[in-house]
Amino acid sequence: MRTMQLAPKHGYREWARAAIIAVLVTGVSVIGLVVVPDVIVERMSASAVQPLRDGVVLAWTVAFFAVAAWAFVRAQGGSRGVEVTEVTEVAGEEEVAA
């Protein structure tokens, strides 16, 4: 049986960067998915029919979500996670003597 020794690749700086990105993603998402559609509905209420207004809000939401998802993936950068530092062979249960 093989066991792997895993060592975390993240230090304090990486966790701080991740926390900052999380706050930014949350803030931008609230603005783009809540505030802007609310402003669109408010400004178009008197001048446009409901189907047109709903279509504009839906188009904005879909476009914003697509751009935000792309930006989120780009902000992730390179590979993250754990790094394998050592692999050792260990006698397991399948090696039972007859």
Q: Is the pLDDT score of 21 beyond 50? A: yes
Mean predicted confidence (pLDDT) in 51-59: 93
Summarised one tens digit per residue, pLDDT across range 68-85 is: 988 888 877 655 555 656
pTM score, whole prediction: 0.61
Composition of the chain by helix, strand, coil, percent to 5: 60, 15, 25
Give the pLDDT score at 67. 94
